[in-house]
Amino acid sequence: MSRVVVRQSGTDDLPAQAGPVFAPGELAGKVMRQCHEVTALKEQFFGENQEKIVACSQEMARAFDKGGRLFAMGNGGSSCDAIHLSVEFMHPIITKRPPLPTISLTTDMAILTAIGNDQDFSMIYAQQLKCWEKPGIWSLACRPAENPPTSTEPCKQRASWE
């Protein structure tokens, strides 16, 4: 279990700021409610999609065995999810297994801003995927359910290239 230490430097020099006031134990209760909500959501998702996840994992394993790659992408906070996923595949810590070739398309600021500026920001992932396109390439778009599908569009475009 990780230990978290939080310290704000220079707090003696900062003016007092009014913030939310919580009754004793109220904030801890909010943290635990959030924890339970997130856990329930994950259990629901994996319960509803376990067969699809297994089938997808088996197909990806076959692709990796034949030299395939996974490209991950996402906008905003979902780009962090794409990066994290790539790290988990490339540097497995919990499950001791060989690394799997995964690249996050969200990390090259020069490419992202060049494509966005010179073409259109809706093309930042599709253009990169076109450059890498070959058999065995998988793409995964991370996005919140309530957001528009701007980062999933490249995956749909890829389907039309094949």
pLDDT in tens, the chain (162 residues): 555 555 566 555 555 566 677 787 888 899 999 999 999 999 999 999 999 999 999 999 999 999 999 999 988 888 999 999 999 999 988 888 899 999 999 999 999 999 999 998 888 888 898 888 888 888 888 877 665 555 556 665 554 444
In a shared domain, residues 52 and 85: no
Q: Is residue 22 part of a domain?
A: no
- Please indicate, yes or no, whether residues 124 and 47 belong to a single structural domain of this protein: no
- For residues 54 and 71, membership in a common domain is answered with no
- 94 and 160, same domain (yes or no): yes
Are 39 and 72 in a shared domain?
no
Q: Within 10 A of 139 (CB to CB), how many other CB atoms are there? A: 24
What SS3 class is residue 38? helix
Domain span at residue 90 reads: 67-162
Residues 39 and 117 grouped into a single domain: no
Find the angle CA(123)-CA(126)-CA(132) to the nearest 5 degrees: 140
| One domain, residues 37 and 51 | yes
Q: Is residue 8 part of a domain?
A: no
> In angstroms, rounded to a whole number, what is the distance separating the alpha carbons of residues 66 and 68?
6
Pair 52, 74 in one domain: no
Which CATH number is 135's domain given? 3.40.50.10490
Q: Please report whether residue 58 resides in a domain.
A: yes
Is the same domain home to 129 and 148?
yes
The domain total for the chain is 2
